[in-house]
Amino acid sequence: MNVPTGTADVLLRTEGRAGFLTLDRPRAINALTHTMVLALDAALTDWEHDPAVTTVVIEGAGERGLCAGGDIRAIHDDARAGGSASAAFWRDEYRLNALIARYPKPYVALMDGIVMGGGVGVSAHGSVRVVTERSRVAMPETGIGFVPDVGGTYLLGRAPGELGTHLALTGGHVGAADAILTGLADHFVPSAELPSLVRDLTRLPAEEAVARHTATPPPGVLAEQREWIDACYPAETVESVVERLFDAGLPAAKEAATTLLAKSPTALKTTLATLRRSRALATLEEVLDLEFRVSCAALTSPDLVEGIRAQVVDKDRNPRWTPATLSEVTDESVARSFAVPAGGDLGLAAARQDQANRQAAGQAADDRPALRPAAEDRAPRDRA
């Protein structure tokens, strides 16, 4: 086994046929920094061209989880200062998400423990996604005045029925069975089996190694709740969704409505609009371009700073949203979230199309992976 190398809280090692990416900020549940994103990108680019590495595995250090998301304290400070560091971080993070989705070698994500926000971005776009009985997978952004990003609206927009809308708006976490049901994961492996799975990944093809350890997950909850979820969330507005949830006459639906009313009203309305726009887009790259606009717009919203303050900085869990109610959030304010940022668009879809055009013309491809179907480009899941 090679001695672990790497920089900036990302450890790299190769063993047998596998290259391992270990997120190494266990005290922060491996929250992503900009430098970590760049280190992951560089390692994946190197291993793509290394014939000795046939499988890539991403894992998290410590016992708490793969990754709790991006470093939102840094985003809080940058937004307060009116800086540009967050936009620069998102540019590189979303490019990394697209690279993972089209990676030409098996990319195995060990989604043990907490996997939230940016953690979903570095795992759920992979080709082989493993959850355990400890997994807690979520896109909790509306609780901090933000909108699901890292391709989250693409993934959730293609979940069965309105399950993805429910998860995007409430920010609720799911366990193994529901992560598989909603398309955020593929395989359940008991956490006690992970060391054996890792050993097998060093010597066997990825799918064969995972198949040796796959089991039936503990039952989830979303399948039984789908009837009222599918009935309530197609409503035209968030206000109507909340009304339907209260009117459903079910404790779980009432709990969801109460949860929504505690979230940022602006983030809820923007999330619903983003999710519905993303469903009409064909590729992950197009959705990441859309999400980049929305993320940059959030930097100028008071709710992002206030939400992170309440949840992470002061931890009083009492955010004061501006505006404070859904009825005060105008269609015009939501529409402004989709404007081109001052620093320009992300441009992933255009770059992908340019690469496709050059390949079609027989020109040499650049040093990025050749175009291939992303995991998310499969036929959309049943939405009936």
pLDDT digits (tens, 9 = 90+) for 110-142: 999 999 999 999 999 999 999 999 999 999 999
Q: Residue 66 and residue 109: Cα distance in Å, rounded? A: 9
Taking the whole predicted model, whether its pTM rises above 0.95 is answered as no
pLDDT mean over 245-250: 98
Q: What angle do CA 334, 340, 343 make, to 5 degrees?
A: 130
**The one catalytic residue among 78, 149, 200, 286:** 149
Structure tokens at 51: 């014939």
Q: Is 362 noted as a catalytic residue in this protein?
A: no
Q: Is 133 noted as a catalytic residue in this protein?
A: no
**The one catalytic residue among 48, 141, 286, 376:** 141
Q: Residue 100 pLDDT more than 90?
A: yes
**The one catalytic residue among 60, 69, 70, 121:** 70
What percent of the chain is predicted at pLDDT more than 70?
92
304-357 pLDDT per residue, tens: 999 999 999 999 999 999 999 999 999 999 999 999 999 999 999 999 988 888
Q: Is 118 noted as a catalytic residue in this protein?
A: yes
Going by C-alpha positions, the residue among 269, 343, 273 that lies closest to residue 301 is 269
State the CB neighbour count (10 A cutoff) for residue 22. Answer: 18
pLDDT of amino acid 26: 97
pLDDT of amino acid 374: 55
Q: Is 70 noted as a catalytic residue in this protein?
A: yes
Q: Residue 8 pLDDT more than 50?
A: yes
Residue 313 DSSP symbol: I
pLDDT of amino acid 361: 84
Sheet holding 136-138, edge to edge: 65-67, 114-116, 136-138
Q: Residue 359 pLDDT more than 50?
A: yes
Q: What angle do CA 339, 341, 346 make, to 5 degrees?
A: 105
**The one catalytic residue among 6, 19, 69, 118:** 118
